[in-house]
Structure 1
Amino acid sequence: MSKGKIEIEREKCKGCHLCVAFCPNQCIQVSKEINSKGYYPAEFKPEEAKEGKDGCSGCCICATMCPDLAIEVYRG
């Protein structure tokens, strides 16, 4: 069951995708749309929890790895 959720600021994200690589539950994906800077930002996949997967645990690894401070983690 999902215990958390994240919000990624599309315009702050430069598309390094470290959050995608380090998310233990694979709740983050690369967007198919570019932001105003020309990068493909990361985006949260909330549908993971609906498919019977663990979903976001609120572990904060993504926010810790983000060099742009573009990720906010919410638990609860």
Structure 2
Amino acid sequence: MTDRHRVDELEERLSIREDRIDELQTQLAERSQIQEQIEDLPDKIRGEMTYQERRQRMLDQASLTQRLRWKVTGVPVDETTDH
């Protein structure tokens, strides 16, 4: 194999690797955007739900003990802490 052929082969391999790197960077950027959307989703859902929907969701997710406590104290719909 001549030196020129060797250089051509190495340049081709380098080009293929650079293309792959570009492809992976594009995929990573897309995944980052999706991750941001996923992280923002709970806030978006919370903002779009009505008071009654948020209250019902909390009741559905609460334990029996928690629901009984809320029967006396009320459901803390507007609080941001998890129970």
**Higher helix residue share:** 2
Q: Structure with the greater relative contact order (CA < 8 A, sep ≥ 6): 1 or 2? A: 1
TM range (shorter): under 0.3
Q: Which of 1 and 2 has greater Rg?
A: 2
TM-score (norm 2): 0.21
